[in-house]
Amino acid sequence: MPFRLPLFALLALCPALLSAADLTTVAERSGFVETGRYDETIALCEAFQRAEPEAVRCFDFGVSPEGRPMKALAVSRSGALTPEAARARGLPVVLIQGGIHAGEIDGKDAGFLALRQVLAGEAAPGALDALVWVFVPVFSVDGHERFGAWNRPNQRGPREMGWRTTAQNHNLNRDYAKADAPEMQAMLRLVEAWDPLAVVDLHATNGAQFEHDISIQVEPLHAGDAALREAGRAWRDGTLADLAAQGSLPLPFYPSFVVEDDPASGFEDGVAPPRFSTGYFPLRNRLVMLVETHSWKAYPVRVRITRNTIVSVLERIARHGREWQRIAREADRRAAALGGTEVPLDYRATDAARTIEFRGYAYTRTPSEVSGATMTRYDETTPQVWRVPLRDTIVPARTAVAPRGGYLVPPAHAAWVAERLDLHGIAYRRLERALPAAPVRTFRAASAALAAATVEGHQRLTLEGEWRDEPRDVPAGALFVPIAQPAARLVVALLEPQAPDSFAAWGRFNNHFERKEYMEAYVAEDVAREMLAADAALAAEFQRRLREDADFAADPRARLDFFYRRHPAWDERYGLYPVFRLESAP
């Protein structure tokens, strides 16, 4: 049903409804000028449970680094208020999270509003009989309490809001794959416990000024299991239709210009890597929706539209959830058979573009006397239809053939890798016996490029190289991570060294690509002469390099390393990725 403002005025006129006032938010009572602090979230969580104990369970799923409880609500009329009960009844679970970026707090206030209306039967009637709704009002609870009026300078309301990152300065929507933050670790445990069919991640955009008020992106749609993509498309298109029917101007892609600050450059759709929610959950064969209200719309408008989105999601999961759940379970079985097949590691939009009509505003692009750059200025009093390109043909950018057996993680890294695999619900087993001369495949880096600056506290690493057959001795205590499991796509994403959010890409193995041993020049000089005298083919190759490679010829260290790399003193583990592949289970 449509959302009407202001509820607090209605309550004042109707004393019989005053008991519901305990379940209203600071946002509602302020006319959506303010949003409440985190103590309000704690109080509302408990108040909803007291008001509807048969339908709502308020619980903690973690503790933040600053000691705040991380609150969630399980909501259902079916009596399934625990993961075990939901599984026993075969009910689909939808996880809706607000405040992963706590300055973008539309989802918290919209979620509590929708919750009250759904429980009262005023919205999504009957939905709570057919599903379990797990609602996390605020994911980044410490970030929420870094309250300030200018935390989102390109956003209209509320008057004050939280901060983008956590108290440890983690951006949680860059952390799904690497799972550094305690908050993310708690979220992944929540996900593992409830195994939601669908996850909804509520945000507000950054960016330009235009008329469109919300974007909805769903995966799998461009990526992931083929059958589940069809469910994802139906979910997205249905939600877009519901929003349009309620007067919104929704978009099926995130409206970020191809060239920053230049509307004429148009837009490019894509598939996020698994550091983001929309890249992560398809690897678990589950549906995910990224909701982005437009930050330049007033806060009451954004809350209303987010509320409408939540209601649409509940109605559609209630109607189609069991069928989509069946498809997801079948996707689990198909994923367990990915061994030996080509698996995308990353995606890109092709150069193919189509012209779309985009509801923008008149604008100018002129030099700025302040910055000296060409700046875009929008006139919100003059709507204008932009005819701009949209590149939305998505293809894999890089692929890997999944091993038929799985991956081996030697004991030196087994402890921390096992902790991460546990968080992601990935199965593995420890080898009780050593594997001498195991028939593994190894990846040796032809090049290893460290990022110039850190990202999320990590110095990222880009590797080029290839897998080759190379027997290795594998000690007891190694981890075997089979590919034959529902999380096979996630296994590949974390353990393939060239995947964009693999452990290797996030710098967890950087030590193995740093040179630790050297041969002093005076020793290398003698070694080189001995090798030249003993091996005519080597001498001929050295002379050829001198003739054909000017940089090599001019670099004394490179010339000596030519011989050192061929000598038994050379560190044969330098550049060796310390995870191996197996074509059959050990």
**In CATH, what number is assigned to the domain containing residue 73?**
3.40.630.10
Q: What is the pLDDT of residue 570?
A: 86
What are the tokens at 462?
């880009």
Helix, strand, coil % over all residues of the chain, rounded to 5: 35, 25, 40
| 138 in any annotated domain | yes
The residues pairing with 464 across neighbouring beta strands, listed in sequence order, are: 447
For 482, the domain range is 400-515+574-582
Q: Answer whether 499's CB lies under 8 Å from 400's CB.
A: yes
Q: Residue 377: helix, strand or coil by DSSP? A: strand
| 10 in any annotated domain | no
Domain match, 539 and 578 both: no
Domain match, 141 and 203 both: yes
Domain match, 298 and 373 both: no
Q: Answer whether 480's CB lies under 8 Å from 406's CB.
A: yes
Residues constituting the chain: 586
Rounded to the nearest 10 degrees, the angle between the axes of helix 536-548 and helix 556-564 is 150
Domain match, 506 and 381 both: no
| 242 in any annotated domain | yes
Domain match, 89 and 215 both: yes
Domain match, 358 and 482 both: no
Listed residue (352, 263, 288) closest to 94, CA to CA: 288
In a structure prediction context, what are the per-residue pLDDT tens digits for the chain, which is 586 residues long? 444 444 333 333 333 333 455 899 999 999 999 999 999 999 999 999 999 999 999 999 999 999 999 999 999 999 999 999 999 999 999 999 999 999 999 999 999 999 999 999 999 999 999 999 999 999 999 999 999 999 999 999 999 999 999 999 999 999 999 999 999 999 999 999 999 999 999 999 988 999 999 999 999 999 999 999 999 999 999 999 999 999 999 999 999 999 999 999 999 999 999 999 999 999 999 999 999 999 999 999 999 999 999 999 999 999 999 999 999 999 999 999 999 999 999 999 999 999 999 999 999 999 999 999 999 999 999 999 999 999 999 999 999 999 999 999 999 999 999 999 999 999 999 999 999 999 999 999 999 999 999 999 999 999 999 999 999 999 999 999 999 999 999 999 999 999 999 999 999 999 999 999 888 999 989 999 999 999 999 999 999 999 999 999 999 999 999 998 899 988 899 999 999 999 999 9
| 14 in any annotated domain | no
What sections of 336-459 are H helices per DSSP? Answer: 411-423
| 12 in any annotated domain | no
Q: Answer whether 427's CB lies under 8 Å from 305's CB.
A: no
Domain match, 187 and 266 both: yes
> What distance separates the 2 farthest-apart alpha carbons in the chain?
102
pTM of the model: 0.93
Domain match, 332 and 374 both: no
CB atoms within 10 A of CB 184: 24
Could you check whether the bond before residue 220 is cis, i.e. omega within 30 degrees of 0?
yes
E strands, 168-224, where? 198-204, 214-219
Domain match, 467 and 451 both: yes
Question: Tokens 């003059």 identify what position?
Answer: 382
Q: What is the pLDDT of residue 2?
A: 44
Domain match, 452 and 477 both: yes
Could you check whether the bond before residue 158 is cis, i.e. omega within 30 degrees of 0?
yes
Residue 186, amino acid: A
Give dist(CA 176, CA 289) in Å, integer.
15
Domain match, 156 and 204 both: yes
State the total domains in the chain. 4
| 370 in any annotated domain | yes
Domain match, 429 and 313 both: no
| 16 in any annotated domain | no
Q: What is the pLDDT of residue 46?
A: 97
Listed residue (176, 171, 207) closest to 190, CA to CA: 176
| 8 in any annotated domain | no
DSSP code for 56: E
What are the tokens at 127?
């939905």
CA distances from 213 to 94, 106, 243, 296 (A): 24, 13, 10, 9
148 burial via Cβ count (<10 Å: 0-12, 13-18, 19+): exposed
